[in-house]
Amino acid sequence: MANVERHDFFPTCLYRFKHDFEENELDNMISHIDLNSLSEHNGQTVKRTGSQTQDDLQRIPTFSNLTRTIIDVSKHILNEQGYMGEIEITNMWGNILRPQSQRAHAPHTHSNNFLSGVFYLKTSTETSPIQFFDPRPQSTVLKPRKSGYNTLNSDMAQFNSETGYGVIFPSWLLHWVPETKEERISIAWNVIVRGDYGEPNTLQNANI
């Protein structure tokens, strides 16, 4: 057989990271998010089947340690990919997904941002994963039958939800979260890169 070299161009890079909790940090973050899932119904305080918090958690001291980790990991990604600029978290919010809701997070992207991510606070083997779709629309037009699934022929990539771990991905990448069988508490966020965009001395350059 001839000598063959594979060259991977135009990759879609997803990153998984582990965050080391400080004392009581995990419990405090869960408590903060859990309070936002309470509502009044017939004079009683009940938990909603699914909810989101306000979207400025990066400004709240309870989440400051995680915020630093997200910024550090995002800087690593920026440097690895050869981009310049300053990392800024534009918004950050908590999500609670409960089986009673019988709801999924429908397929979506995060517009007007560069990176997005999710971090897991409460999970089990029965909590739903996050799934990503192949962003190349023509890739499924004609495909031979597969001998097995791998990163070169799959139409979807999945990360299981695991407490203490996060996933960062391009904001334009289509993804969703299926219905969960047990309570799933997570934090999501968006990141913009502040600085110069495009090529210098052209009409396609801007500063954000």
For residue range 45-70, list pLDDT tens digits in order.
445 556 788 999 999 999 999 999 99
Question: Which range, of 6-20, 88-102, 113-127, averages the lowest pLDDT?
Answer: 88-102
Structurally, the chain folds into a number of domains equal to 1
Residue 181 resides in a domain: yes
Beta bridge partners of 189: 92, 117
**Contact yes or no for 203/51 (Cβ under 8 A):** no
The mean predicted confidence, pLDDT, of the chain is: 91
Note down the domain range covering 108.
15-134+155-197
Residue 207 resides in a domain: no
Residue 139 resides in a domain: no
Q: Which pTM was predicted?
A: 0.91
Residue 149 resides in a domain: no
DSSP output for 118-155:
EEEEE--TTS--EEEE-S-TTTTSS-PPPSS--TTT-S
Residue 8 resides in a domain: no
Beta bridge partners of 133: 156
For residue 11, pLDDT beyond 70: yes
Going by C-beta distance under 8 Å and a sequence separation of 6 or more, which residues neighbour residue 79? none
| Amino acid letter, residue 96 | I
For residue 137, pLDDT beyond 90: no
End-to-end CA distance of the chain: 51
Instruction: Rank 100-114, 157-171, 187-201 by mean pLDDT and report only the highest.
Output: 157-171
For residue 139, pLDDT beyond 50: yes
Residue 2 resides in a domain: no
Residue 48 resides in a domain: yes
Going by C-beta distance under 8 Å and a sequence separation of 6 or more, which residues neighbour residue 91? 55, 56, 58, 189, 190
CATH value at residue 79:
2.60.120.620
Nearest to 49 by CA among 17, 118, 97: 97
Residue 56 resides in a domain: yes
